[in-house]
Amino acid sequence: AFQPAARLSLIEVSEILQITFEASARKRAGRPVIVLGAGEPDFDTPDPVKEAAARAMREGRTKYTVLDGSPELKAAVREKFRRDNGLDYALDEITCGSGAKQVLYNAFMATLDPGDEVVIPAPFWTSYADIVAICGGVPVVVPCLEADGFRLTPAALDRAITPRTRWLLLNSPSNPTGSAYGAEDLEALAGVLDRHPQVWLMSDDMYEHILYDGRRFATPAAVAPQLKARTLTVNGVSKAYAMTGWRIGYGGGPRALIKAMAVVQSQSTSCPSSISQAAAVEALTGDQRVVAERCRAFQDRRDLVVGALNAMPSVSCRNPEGAFYTFARCTDLVGRTAADGTPLADDRAFCRYLLESVDVAVVPGSCFGLPGYFRISYATSEAELREACGRLAKACAALS
Ligand code: PLP
């Protein structure tokens, strides 16, 4: 019989994908399902980006590129870091992979020895812990309180660090909470890292451009330049430019780390798609107005969803600073009973109840390391969001 490798026994199949698949299957079977589970913008990739890809194909740029990014893409990333973040990375301090996910994977694969620890504040994007585990590391999950805006506090960071700690992984704005760290928050965390020189910092800036209410984005390597020599700044085009299917992510960091990551990539994908790289150059260097326009649309949707959720008597959520998720509390509903007598024992049961009773697919907080909550992705039309919130209210009111 088939026997998977031991390292896979530590990993669970992505529950978020399972929920999305099940919701899609129900939809295909004719049910009026609204999927608020997926982590991707509903917008289309901008036309100039598609055109750049078509041009690359016509011009025969269809061969392997330099292993961790074409010179054109690395130059575009360099300019992006300078323009948006005030960060100066040399070309050999930049890496490009098939999505930010591959960049994270390369970094952990290149640095973790068995038993090395990675501090991951919870709630967190599920893939972090699984990638760390696949690479032989140990995810050290640090719960963060809603009262702290789901942000890691310096005291909690200090307590989590051991002699085995290799990385701290920060994600701002956050998937799943939408919480963002301001410059002062990052300075305070940097103060702790200053006392622990063995700990490196990975900053996942994937939702940088989806930040609301006029906030200014802050990234650790810029806020605390003394940490730049041990920071990997990760980003990508998936969310900002609605390019999830193109699979381009990138990172900036110390030369030696970038070189080690290239070794990993050389024996997995060789290089990201040449056509996608050409498209990403256009995304990063072309007219950026589309990014701000879409951010405003996401902000309107946030207002709609947060307003509707907080109007429900037994659901509550904080107002997220960015990304396109809300992380709502459902502890008051857990333990209640559905009309057909089914008890809702936990957040997973609650989310299943929503799917089965009102055809709304959301993801339980347990998937992100914090039970008692559920995540709504509001990267969908306002009409669908209104309908979904109405159904949610109805489903919650029907519980006894
Ligand atoms: N980082 C975070 C926080 C994400 O939510 C995601 C995607 O959901 C990624 C990284 C991965 O993005 P990519 O499509 O570039 O692999």
Band (pLDDT 50/70/90 cuts) for residue 71 is very high
Residue with tokens 């040449």: 274
The model's pLDDT over 293-317, given as tens digits with 9 standing for 90+, comes to: 999 999 999 999 999 999 999 999 9
- Give 46 Cα–ligand 1 centroid separation in angstroms: 19
The model's pLDDT over 326-347, given as tens digits with 9 standing for 90+, comes to: 999 999 999 999 999 999 999 9
CB neighbour burial string for 157-173, b if at least 16 within 10 angstroms, e if fewer:
beebbeeebbbbbbbbb
Q: Is 16 in the pocket of ligand 1 (CB under 6 A)?
A: no
User: Does the pTM of the predicted model rise above 0.90?
Assistant: yes
Tell which residue, 95, 98, 68, 31, has the closest CA to residue 276.
98
HEC profile of 324-381: CEEEEECCCCCCCECCCCCECCCHHHHHHHHHHHHCEECEEHHHHCCCCEEEEECCCC
Give the pairing type, strands 138-143 and 165-171.
Answer: unpaired
- Give 73 Cα–ligand 1 centroid separation in angstroms: 19
Q: What is the mean pLDDT of the chain?
A: 96
Q: Are 45 and 241 in contact (CB under 8 A)?
A: yes
- Which residues belong to CATH 3.40.640.10 in the chain? 61-286
Tell which residue, 265, 375, 282, has the closest CA to residue 326.
375
The model's pLDDT over 222-264, given as tens digits with 9 standing for 90+, comes to: 999 999 999 999 999 999 999 999 999 999 999 999 999 999 9
- Which residues belong to CATH 3.90.1150.10 in the chain? 6-44+290-397
Residue 199 has pLDDT above 90, yes or no: yes
Q: Is 210 in the pocket of ligand 1 (CB under 6 A)?
A: no
- Of all protein residues, the one whose alpha carbon is nearest to atom 1 of ligand 1 is 206
Tokens of 358: 């009102």
Instruction: Name the percent of the chain lying above pLDDT 90.
Output: 92
What secondary structure letter does DSSP report for 227?
A: G
- 378: how many CB neighbours lie within 10 A of its CB? 26
Q: What is the ipTM of this complex?
A: 0.99
Q: What is the pLDDT of residue 7?
A: 85
Q: Is 238 in the pocket of ligand 1 (CB under 6 A)?
A: yes
Q: Are 177 and 203 in contact (CB under 8 A)?
A: no
180 vs 379: CA distance, rounded Å: 18
Q: Is 316 in the pocket of ligand 1 (CB under 6 A)?
A: no
Q: Are 343 and 349 in contact (CB under 8 A)?
A: yes
DSSP three-state, residue 170: strand
Q: Is 239 in the pocket of ligand 1 (CB under 6 A)?
A: no
Tell which residue, 153, 107, 161, has the closest CA to residue 134.
107
* Phi, psi dihedrals of residue 340, rounded to the nearest 5°: -85, 5
- The strand pairing partners of 326, in sequence order, are 376
Q: What is the pLDDT of residue 173?
A: 98
| Amino acid at site 281 | V
Q: Is 236 in the pocket of ligand 1 (CB under 6 A)?
A: yes
- Give 251 Cα–ligand 1 centroid separation in angstroms: 13
- Give 320 Cα–ligand 1 centroid separation in angstroms: 18
Q: Is 272 in the pocket of ligand 1 (CB under 6 A)?
A: no
**CB contact set of 273 (below 8 Å; sequence gap of 6+):** 98, 246, 247, 248
End-to-end Cα, the chain, rounded Å: 47
- Give 206 Cα–ligand 1 centroid separation in angstroms: 6
Tell which residue, 157, 151, 205, has the closest CA to residue 327.
151
Q: Is 205 in the pocket of ligand 1 (CB under 6 A)?
A: no
- Give 390 Cα–ligand 1 centroid separation in angstroms: 29
Q: Is 39 in the pocket of ligand 1 (CB under 6 A)?
A: yes
**CATH tag, 6-44+290-397:** 3.90.1150.10
Tokens of 20: 């999305």
Site to probe by mutation for ligand 1, drawn from 127, 205, 284 as the one with most ligand atoms within 8 Å of Cβ, is 127
Q: Is 69 in the pocket of ligand 1 (CB under 6 A)?
A: no
Site to probe by mutation for ligand 1, drawn from 108, 169, 202, 238 as the one with most ligand atoms within 8 Å of Cβ, is 238
Q: Is 251 in the pocket of ligand 1 (CB under 6 A)?
A: no
Residue 114 has pLDDT above 80, yes or no: yes
Q: Is 41 in the pocket of ligand 1 (CB under 6 A)?
A: no
Please identify, in words, the CATH class of the domain defined by 61-286: alpha beta
Tell which residue, 167, 234, 178, has the closest CA to residue 206.
234
Interval 8-19 mean pLDDT: 81
- Give 243 Cα–ligand 1 centroid separation in angstroms: 11
HEC profile of 109-150: HHHCCCCCEEEEEECCCCHHHHHHHHCCCEEEEEECCHHHCC
- Give 309 Cα–ligand 1 centroid separation in angstroms: 26
